[in-house]
Amino acid sequence: SNWESHVRSSAQIRRHNGFSVLVTGAAGFVGSHVSLALKKRGDGVVGLDNFNDYYNPDLKRSRRDLLTANGVFIVEGDLNDAKLLANLFDLVQFSHVMHLAAQAGVRYAMENPHSYIHSNIAGLVTLLEASKSAMPQPSVVWASSSSVYGLNEKSPFSESDRTDKPASLYAATKKAGEEITHTYNHIYGLSITGLRFFTVYGPWGRPDMAYFSFTRDILEGKPITIYRGKNHADLARDFTYIDDIAKGCIGSLDTAKKSTGSGGKKRGPAQFRIFNLGNTSPVTVPMMVGMLEKHLKVKAKKNLVEMPGNGDVQFTHANISYARSEFGYNPTTDLQTGLKKFVKWYISYYGYNHAKSV
């Protein structure tokens, strides 16, 4: 079919040593940036995304158009479509899988809990099954989340800290993903790298995240709701700029040792690694809002309310020394600078008074 020839040409390795990477969630925020960055350095990239309407899929289509213009072809389909995956793996000998598709967000679980199971559990397993059967030396890098630290109160969070108290169904599915990938690692010899992202933000970001919806509401003159935690303490997040995250994803991909042996169940011992990818400098939500006000040149109308206890944690803070030592991960964009870039993108995409619904 038409997409099959696109996929074939899109995945062609243009440079000596180039990888051939399947990026899931490629029309998503992180997936689109990572796909573009891989493509720009000469790797062959094929994207997969189901364009679901968790947030306005127009934004996903715009990201896709940008990728397509840069030579990345995106297949529209679901992780749970085992036939489609088998077909894709058959068409292209992928050297790596970069798995960034998921049901993200913590609050949506109250509306649609099963979407988390569908994408983050069942979809993950379908993808691992396909990788295990089709790739001679499977290497899978995938997005876990800082949310696995849950109600951990130790700061900063290190990879060896306890992750046995998820605060949301989202966190529980990411934690389960870590266990599931670990099982595929030791039973089938898949090489696995799990990345615990910390609040990723930037251009082409996710409209459901606070920095994004606050920007929209501030520009529209609507009040914003800021949650406060225990004893009225401000919530804080280790906001991490998208370019730093994309570099971390690719750095970890480049240092992942592919599993030894080929095919079947007889692979040698393979790597299982989990890294924090954060910024190591948490900022409170009110301070983040202050930065937005400055860049937007508009004062926000703020409602401060008690955190409703629906999945948010009080603070996040990454210790990144492991990623630093293994592949030189080194975030360089502070929140002030990164939000300036986000606001510039936001206004160029939506205008000051955007009529499009976000």
In whole angstroms, give the CA distance from residue 331 to residue 347: 25
Closest C-alpha to 240, from 278, 287, 204, 210: 278
Query: C-beta of 201: minimal distance to ligand NAD in Å?
Result: 7
**108, 116, 149, 170: which one is catalytic?**
170
Query: C-beta of 290: minimal distance to ligand NAD in Å?
Result: 20
Considering only 42-50, 179-187, 228-236, 307-315, which stretch makes contact with ligand NAD by CB under 6 A? Answer: 42-50
Of these, 10, 20, 35, 60, which contacts ligand NAD (CB under 6 A)? 60
Q: Is-catalytic flag, 170?
A: yes
Q: Are 323 and 275 in contact (CB under 8 A)?
A: yes
Query: C-beta of 34: minimal distance to ligand NAD in Å?
Result: 9
In whole angstroms, give the CA distance from residue 74 to residue 50: 10
Q: In one letter, which amino acid is 170?
A: Y
Nearer residue to ligand NAD within complex by CB, 20 or 145: 145
Secondary structure percentages of the chain, helix, strand, coil, to 5: 45, 15, 40
Q: Does 29 sit near ligand NAD (CB under 6 A)?
A: yes
Closest C-alpha to 253, from 19, 47, 16, 70: 19
Q: How many residues bind ligand NAD (CB under 6 A)?
A: 28
In whole angstroms, give the CA distance from residue 12 to residue 339: 36
Interacting residues with ligand NAD between 187 and 226 (CB under 6 A):
197, 199-200, 206
Residues in contact with 16: Cβ distance below 8 Å, sequence separation at least 6, in sequence order: none
Of these, 143, 235, 285, 335, which contacts ligand NAD (CB under 6 A)? 143
User: 115-134 mask for ligand NAD (x: CB under 6 A)?
Assistant: ----x---x-----------
Query: C-beta of 35: minimal distance to ligand NAD in Å?
Result: 11
Q: Does 31 sit near ligand NAD (CB under 6 A)?
A: yes
- The structure tokens 């939500």 sit at 285
Residues in contact with 275: Cβ distance below 8 Å, sequence separation at least 6, in sequence order: 159, 193, 194, 195, 196, 248, 252, 320, 322, 323, 326, 329
Query: C-beta of 130: minimal distance to ligand NAD in Å?
Result: 12
Q: Which residues bind ligand NAD (CB under 6 A)?
A: 25, 27-31, 48-52, 60, 78-80, 100-104, 119, 123, 143, 145, 197, 199-200, 206
What is the set of active-site residues? 170
